[in-house]
Structure 1
Amino acid sequence: MSTCAKVSRDLEEPLAGTAATARTWLLVEQPGPWGAAALTSSHLDPVLGRALERAAEGTGVRVALIRRPGRHADCRKVAERQVYAAHTAPGNVWLHSATTSDPGRLLTLDFAALGRGLSGSFDTALDGRPHADDPLALVCTNGKRDRCCALLGRPLAAELAASGVSGAWEVTHLGGHRFSPTLLVLPFGYAYGRAGAHAVKEVLHGVREGRVVTERCRGSSAWERPGQAAELAVRTAVGEDAAGALSVVRTEGQAPHWEVTVAHTDGRHWLVSVGQGASQPPRAESCGSALGSPARMDVTAVRELSRTGAQGTTGPATR
């Protein structure tokens, strides 16, 4: 039986505009097995997991569990946990790290402030500090959510670790099982699908240089999905790869059509038309689920604007 990832790949389903949305990521190390709802179905105290979910709700913070690639002993006690917080909005991108023997201290974090891009409560509560090492390469490997994540994600994470990528971690959930193996790179927050080890290394090399690789990119988690597609379309149209150069400054409309304004740090602006379409033919969004028509983001036009209106058109460009 075909997996959801194989069907999606065979149908050449577009990746742009499919990334999980989170301006800030809070990552907590938890070795051992993970269930489908990992925060409450792992060896992390489920009471703490539920409390973290509630604390993050509506703040722009997404909490996920991480573990080092490889075989995982079924250990219930962890002496020290690695914890990361990362903010992905251009102009205020940061990645901070800490270790803690008491994950309950996470509940003292100011989640609203973290969502706004303020790192102070993380550093105060956990003795955190700016992370100066390699960027993080987070590969979704949670087979309890979808078998493709385990079958395709775990070998990728293991290969990255074996080849010396110190920032390689397995992560519980990035969404879009059918795009496995899926990857999130921090601190910039760009997600990728159908990733191979060589391509991931190119992405990480770009991050170290402050560049965004757009090939197989699903979008930046800093933006909602229409904004993700619009920003990638502008990058492609004008050949811009500087990570902090573009921001989504306005999104008007509602499904199935949006007008998204993308701004450059040099003062240029673009108006991007984004439509929501239904993927055809029907396919399963996840292994074992019923056939459906997943929503897709289609960019139909990219227009550069002046102070008085449109100067020109670089579209239509359908993705």
Structure 2
Amino acid sequence: MSHRPDARPEPTTCSAFSARLDEPLPGTAPVATTWLAIEQPGPWGARALRQSHLDPEVGAQLEQRAEGTGLRIALIRRVGRHALTAADEPRTVLLCDTRPGSAAVRSTAFTDPRELLDLDLASLAAGRIDAGEPVTNPVLLVCSNGKRDRCCAQFGRALALELTRADPAAQVWESDHLGGHRFAPTAVVLPTGYVYGRLDTGTALAALEAARRGQVLTERSRGRSTWSRPAQSAELALRAELQESDADAIRVVGEQRVGASGHAVELVARDARYRVLVDVAPAARPRPESCGKVFGTPIELRVTEVEKLA
């Protein structure tokens, strides 16, 4: 039986507010065309790359090199294993391109964190992944960084533990910040880059199984990180319109502003072109974007029109 981990969220948590207000998920994924996931056991701070047992100088340099490239760096750790390991024990590095037609994950390892500085981040950001060995099964990174938000720690860690018990063969990692605490539990499937929110065990396993078949589970999807936020929302709406599950079947080919709050996104699917209008505006009702933060009105994205052009 599938259920949301650790019962219901407390009514004062950011995820409880978001769920109660039925905040739309599409268009809320972090934007990243490529990912670099680095195994770092032990505790993480709110800014994990600089606040963990990873050499902070290495973390700062990686962060600086990745800025503005479309590459997102995440720390990961094995589910349930937060104790530090021996300094010379090999650790995993995942390198991922999420773009349709070239989506892939490769895995390599390091013992000295300074080896990470030898990675060609510019090439990785451009989708050229040469290091490591191919990873044939999809990978799920579940946000569990409690220093960023207690919802991620409580619900994310519980989900990761349930998934490893339900399917010990599944490639599941705990991850630091994926954005969108108020959608916890939240996770990203690699290599496609589809991000999910308000996950339960059954939906997470279904998303992994779909990815194994080269498909996409749109239920509870926040969007494909490959695209901008309006394009994420548009792509999911077109998938629903066409009942299309093939991961590579839809591509975003253009986007422009329309009026004060609209975005027109052009997509290609099944040898046809489509135009999807997305309204981007502050939420009408305030809510906390993270636990303990003041109430605000985050941007909500709503599709207003799907039109076939040719």
- Whether 2:58 is the aligned partner of 1:73: answer no
Query: Partner residue of 2:4?
Result: none
One of 42, 47, 53 as aligned partner of 1:32:
42
Matched, 1:249 2:253: yes
In the other structure, the counterpart of 1:282 is: 286
Q: Name the TM-score, length of structure 1 as normaliser.
A: 0.91
Give identity over the alignment, percent: 48
Displacement of 1:253: 1.4
Answer 1 or 2: higher relative contact order, Cα 8 Å, separation at least 6. Answer: 2
Aligned residue identity for 1:96: R
Gapped regions of structure 2 (runs ≥ 5):
1-10
Letter in 2 for 1:160: L
Residue 131 of structure 1 is matched in structure 2 by: 135
SS where residue 210 of structure 2 aligns?
helix
Q: What is aligned with 1:270? A: 274
Residue in 1 that maps onto 2:107? 97
TM-superposition CA deviations, 1:211-260 (whole Å, max 9, x none): 10111000000001000000001000111110001111101117622110
Match of 2:186 in 1: 182
SS class of match (2:79) = coil
SS of the equivalent of 1:234 reads helix
| Residues 40-75 of structure 1: CA deviation (Å, up to 9, x unaligned) | 000000000000001111111111100011142145
Tell me how far apart the structure 2 counterparts of residues 85 and 256 of structure 1 sit (CA, whole Å). Answer: 35
In structure 1, the gaps of 5 or more residues are 307-319
Aligned equivalents of 1:288, 1:238: Cα separation in 2: 41
Moved over 2 A (4+): 74-78
Determine the C-alpha separation between the residues in 2 that align with 1:239 and 1:275: 22
Of the candidates 160, 165, 176, which is equivalent to residue 163 of structure 2?
Answer: 160
Q: Which moved more, 1:247-256 or 1:213-222?
A: 247-256
Aligned equivalent of 1:193, options 180, 191, 197: 197
1:165 and 1:185 map into 2 onto residues whose CA distance is 15
Q: Which residue of structure 1 aligns with residue 51 of structure 2?
A: 41
Between the aligned partners of 1:58 and 1:68, the Cα distance in structure 2 is 29
Letter of the 1:90 counterpart:
P
The alignment's C-alpha RMSD in Å is 1.3
Query: What residue identity is the alignment partner of 1:180?
Result: A
Q: Return the TM-score normalized by structure 2.
A: 0.93
Q: 2:15 aligns to what?
A: 5
Distance 1:6 1:76 in 2: 39
Letter in 1 for 2:42: G
Shift of 1:109: 2.0
Conservation of the 8 A alpha-carbon contact between 1:285 and 1:291: yes
The equivalent residue for 2:206 is 202
Contact (CA 8 Å) 1:157, 1:169: kept in 2 or not? yes
